[in-house]
Every structure is written in structure tokens, then in C-alpha cells.
Chains A and B, each alone.
Chain A
């Protein structure tokens, strides 16, 4: 039985990845799961310099999910290369680095710094809804997305995944812009902008007022968007949004995702990633599927 998938020439032993920002650089969850059981570890967003992030409260629970407004707190690329990438080298898994920035130049600096490292893929974060400058500013207009994708592609040594925001009118327009500018793959969805109000205090629960919603409640939206994009572009798609169990991941695969990522559910079940990978294998076995390719995008055929 073949469970491996290929994204831009990079083979993953299985389609299960971690969603950026929910797994650190794997260190914290390596106490719970063997990272070598995963197709890839996708790191938390890293910028050219350390970012402080937003004031607290940064997280809030909502029905069937959560809101976060962390604001991309990260130690910057220097510490990241020395510490986080060194740590990840111990494991037999692919390493995907999520890159964030306030300006295009910030992104390019990180991408260049990573060019001679053992990173397998780059994921460009143009969809974080919680920072004032950069990130989503590049991901909500097709022209801006086209521009940054092209500029990243010109300096990147590794294949480039553009991570798309669901906070747009037509996600396929974004997917097409990324593809046209040379992106090797797209990942979706990032969180959906939301808000929660504490009615006793008559104020927003999050210090940032709004945050990105994730968790099982957003899954149907994410599956729909993956399906739309799968019918709009030819480049591979990494699907995510509310995956809690193998069944959820399989929905994404059937919608047309080549790989999937487990996000907020890591916070709920620290073993979720490996359980999803094992559950997919079990599903394939039970349905006598010899190659995972048989189910990828099967609803579109």
C-alpha cells in the first residue's frame, strides 16, 4: 500500500503535515508523538527579525473551535536556523518553513537565509489575519499575491507553497494568481477572521478584538474551498481547516488535496497528527486502496 505523496518533487512518506503556528517547530509535541511518523513538520511562521506578537488575551474558545490572535510571535531567522532547524534534523520527516514578513523585502530576506539549509519546502504566509502590516495584506488582492509570489520564486532555492486566506470573495482567483506567478503549491485554508464579545464586560475577549477562527467548526468551509481550488489550478494543494481525525483528512484528500495538515486539534489532542496518519492507512487498507492517489480528488473525476 502506497501512502506517500509528492509535492513539487518532494516526496512525503504520508500526506499528514502540521499546520503552521499550531506545532511550534515540533519540539513541544515531540514529547507526545514521533515526528518521524509525519509526512512533514510545518514550522510556526518565522520572520527576518524577532516579532513580539500581540497583547493578551490572545486566544479564546468558540463553539467547536477557537480564535487566536497571537500575532506571529517568533524568534527571528537567526535563532530559528540555529535552534529549530537543528532540532528538526534529528527526525526522518520533511521540513517546511512558514515564512512571514511585514514587507516583501522581509520575506525575501528569510527565503534567502534558508536557501542553503536543509529545508525541503517553503510556505509563504500571506494570510495571517492578526498582524497590521504584511501577511494578509499580500493575500487578499490577486495582484499583490501575484507580485509577492513571483518575487519569492525568483530568490527561493526550495519549492514554494503559498498559504491562502479564506477571507476573500473568491479563493480560486487567489489560487490562480499564485499558480500564474509560479507557485509550486498552495495550502489552504488559513484561519477565518472572527470575533467574540464578553457580554458581562461589554468588550472583546481578545486584546486584538478580532482573531482567526480554527477548529472542527470551520472544516466544511475549508473542504469546499479546497474542492474549488482543485478545480481551478493544476499545482498541488495542501488542505487544512478543522481536521480532527482521519475521516476529516480523507474528506480533504477526496476534495483534491495532495496532503493535509492538522492544526488547532493538536491543542486538543496532542497525538492527533499520528492518529490521523494511522487512520488514513487503516481506511486505505479497509477499502483495499493500493495507492493513496486513487482517492486524491476522487470526487472531481
Chain B
């Protein structure tokens, strides 16, 4: 069953978590091989929108073969997904990408898990897979702090720190403000979120001299490393094209912060 494949999944539930944010649960054998930081690509039914949409894995229940996908409606494809109801079927390509390297967090270490905006969902599965001490920092626009309860369940409420741009919940500002306000320290960092946030996290990791694993995104076509659409600049020559351009879909989406030029 290993290896990437396209299969038809069945929707078991979908709810809305916040304005434009949906929580989709599907049954698929792909769940058996899914790990934190990986993603799947969902196919819209309308054939005028052909390309599969990359969606990060929020939770994977390997036993029950359930994938939980939390996504923001960003265009036609995701708008169509938001209409899916229990019992509906959809095609899924997966499991894609390398995922977060959880084994880099050794026993005794404290890990900082940082998510921003629609980048927060993969932090849930990451928190479940990480066995070391962990602190979660999640940044939102406003008081619609989706997945907050999931973070509290995975890491304990005392280990979850929130930042909101409008200051409605906990620290006013972004995740870096929350890290500073709470005096958080870590031995290793994992992050997923918008590019400005990842840049700030990278600078922080360099200053603190700790490893940081960042999940990047880019417009994708094939999702399997063939089209070279979703590249990011790398510090060293990449293994595939030998030109300092790594493929986010296959070499990533997770890179050590110093490997990528963001």
C-alpha cells in the first residue's frame, strides 16, 4: 500500500470552524501512511478546474483510515469542496511531501510549534506525533481561533499561546510577539504559516541558534515533483535540477530554515 496514488475517498463529515475555514473528514486508505506535515491533493469535480488542490493534513487516524483536512476557501476549487457533505465522494492524490522530521526533537528537548492563519492545521498532527515537551504558538486575525481546543488537547492548555492581530485573544500582534511576550524558549522549532511569519521564525531560529523546520507553500500543478512548478530558492545546489531550486511538493514542503532562501 506504500507509494503515492490517486483514490476515491468518502466524506464522513464537514463543518465550518470559522469564517471561510472548513474542517473536512474523509475515509481513505491514504491515511494509513500519512504523517504530520505531509499533504494530499483534492480534485474538484468540475472539469473546468482540473488541477488537484494541495491541502495539508490536520490529523491522520491511521487505524480508522480517516484524514482530517482543515482549509480556507481561496478560490473555485476550495469553494466547491466546502459544499461536500457526509456520504459524498471525491478523488484524492496522496500522500505527498516529506512531512515534519519529528525524530529531530530528541527526548528532553522543548519544541516550539508555530502556526499562523491557515498554516495552523498541520500543527495539530505534529503535536500528536511529537513526544517531547512542546509549546504551541498560534496566530490569528481575530477571535476566531480555530483548532484552539485541538491544540489544548494535544499539548495541554497551559502550553498553548495565542496571538491575534486585533488583540481580542491573548497577545496582540503576531506569533513572534506571543513568543516574546511569554518569554518562550525552545531547542527546536517547527512552523507553518504565511511567508512573512516564516521569515521572522527563520531569523529567530538563527539568532537562538536552534534548528527550525518550516513548511512552505507555492502554486502547484502535478504535486509529485514532475512539473517543477512549485520551486523555492535553496542555499545549496538542489539534488534534482542542480540549480538551487528545490521542489516544494517533493523535496518539501518542510525544509530546515537555513536550507531555503525565503
Residues in B with CB closer than 8 Å to A28 are: 222, 224-226, 250
Q: Complex Cα distance A32/B96, Å? A: 13
- Tell me, yes or no, whether A127 is within 8 Å of chain B by CB: no
Chain B residues near A65 (CB-CB < 8 A): 50
Measured CA separation A269–B224 after assembly (Å) = 11
Q: Which of B47, B219, B240, B244 contacts A60 (CB 8 A)?
A: B219
Tell me, in angstroms, the Cα distance from A53 to B222 when the chains sit together.
17
Give A37-78 interface residues, CB cut-off 8 Å to B: 44, 50-53, 56-61, 63-66, 68, 70, 73-76
> Is A31 an interface position by the 8 A CB rule?
yes
Scan B20-50; emit 1 where CB is below 8 A from any A CB, else 0: 0000000000000000000000010001111
Does B56 make an interface contact (CB < 8 A)?
A: no
Residues on A with beta carbons closer than 8 Å to the beta carbon of B225:
24, 28
Residues of chain B within 8 A (CB-CB) of A58 are 219, 228-231
Are B230 and A66 in contact, CB atoms less than 8 angstroms apart? no
Q: A31 touching B228 by the CB < 8 A rule?
A: no
B166 at interface by CB-CB < 8 Å: no
Residues of B within 8 A of A70 (CB): 227-229
Q: Are A271 and B229 in contact (CB under 8 A)?
A: no
The verdict on B171 contacting chain A, using a C-beta distance below 8 Å, is no
Chain A residues with CB below 8 A from B230, complex form: 56, 58-59
Would B50 and A270 count as touching, CB distance under 8 A?
no
Kindly specify which of B1-9, B185-193, B203-211 makes contact with the partner chain: B1-9
Residues of B within 8 Å of A252, CB to CB, are none
The reply to whether B50 and A32 contact each other, CB–CB distance below 8 Å, is no
Check A32/B244 contact, CB under 8 A, given A53-B228, A266-B226. no
Q: In the complex the two chains form, is B5's CB within 8 Å of A268's CB?
A: no
Give every chain A residue within 8 A of B218 (Cβ-Cβ).
Answer: 56-57
Does any Cβ of B come within 8 Å of A21's Cβ? yes
Asked if B229 and A75 make an inter-chain contact with CB atoms under 8 angstroms apart, the answer reads no
B222 and A266 within 8 A (CB): yes
Within 8 Å of chain B (Cβ to Cβ): is A79? yes
A271 smallest CB distance to B (angstroms): 7
From A22, A66, A215, A269, contact of B6 by CB (8 A):
A269
B51 interfacial by beta-carbon distance below 8 Å: yes
B116 at interface, CB cutoff 8 A: no
Of A63, A73, A264, which one neighbours B228 at CB under 8 angstroms? Answer: A73
Least CB separation from A64: chain B residue:
B48
Chain A residues whose CB sits within 8 angstroms of the CB of B223 once the complex forms:
267
Number of A residues with CB within 8 Å of any CB on chain B? 40
Say yes or no for B154: interface residue by CB 8 A criterion: no
Residues on B with beta carbons closer than 8 Å to the beta carbon of A64: 47-48, 50
Determine whether B243 belongs to the interface, using a CB cutoff of 8 Å to chain A.
Answer: yes
Q: Which of B4, B219, B220, B240 contacts A32 (CB 8 A)?
A: B4
- Inter-subunit contact A51/B243 (CB<8 Å): yes
| Shortest Cβ gap from A97 to chain B (Å) | 16
When distances are taken between beta carbons in the complex, the residues of chain B under 8 Å from A75 are 240-243
Q: Is the CB of A29 within 8 A of B224?
A: yes
B220, B243, B250: the one within 8 Å of A59 (CB) = B220
In the bound complex, residues from chain B placing their C-beta under 8 Å from that of A66 are 50-51, 221
* B residues near A61, Cβ cutoff 8 Å: 49-51
Q: B6 contacts which chain A residues (CB < 8 A)? A: 32, 269-271
Q: Which residues of B contact A53 (CB under 8 A)?
A: 228, 231, 241, 243, 245
**Given A50-B243, A52-B245: A59 and B219 within 8 A (CB)?**
yes
Chain B 218-262 per-residue mask, 1 if CB under 8 angstroms from chain A, else 0: 111111111111111000000011111100001000000000000
The answer to whether the Cβ of B122 comes within 8 Å of any Cβ in the partner chain is no
The interface centre, meaning the residue of A24, A74, A268 with most chain B CB atoms within 10 A of its CB, is A268
A23 within 8 A of B: yes
Complex contact A59–B221 (CB within 8 A): yes
Asked if B93 is an interface residue, CB under 8 A from chain A, the answer is yes
The yes or no answer to B97 lying at the interface (CB within 8 A) is no
Residues in chain B near residue A51, CB distance under 8 A: 241, 243
How far, in angstroms, from A271 to B223 measured CA to CA in the complex? 14
From the candidates B48, B51, B219, B245, name the one contacting A267 in the complex (CB within 8 A).
B51
Whole-angstrom distance between the alpha carbons of A22 and B250 in the complex? 15
A residues 1-51 in Cβ contact with B at 8 Å: 21-24, 28-29, 31-32, 44, 50-51
Q: Is B99 an interface residue (CB 8 A)?
A: no
Q: Is the CB of A215 within 8 A of B50?
A: yes
- Not counting A59-B219, A64-B48, A65-B50, a sample of 10 additional A-B residue pairs whose C-beta atoms are within 8 angstroms of each other reads A28-B250, A32-B4, A52-B241, A58-B231, A59-B220, A59-B227, A61-B51, A63-B48, A267-B50, A268-B43
* Selected A-B contacts with CB under 8 Å, 29 pairs: A23-B226, A24-B225, A29-B224, A29-B226, A31-B3, A32-B224, A44-B228, A50-B241, A53-B228, A53-B231, A56-B218, A56-B230, A56-B231, A57-B219, A58-B228, A59-B221, A59-B230, A61-B49, A64-B50, A68-B227, A73-B243, A75-B242, A75-B243, A216-B50, A267-B52, A267-B222, A267-B226, A270-B6, A270-B224
Q: Which residues of A contact B (CB under 8 A)?
A: 21-24, 28-29, 31-32, 44, 50-53, 56-61, 63-66, 68, 70, 73-76, 79, 215-216, 264-271
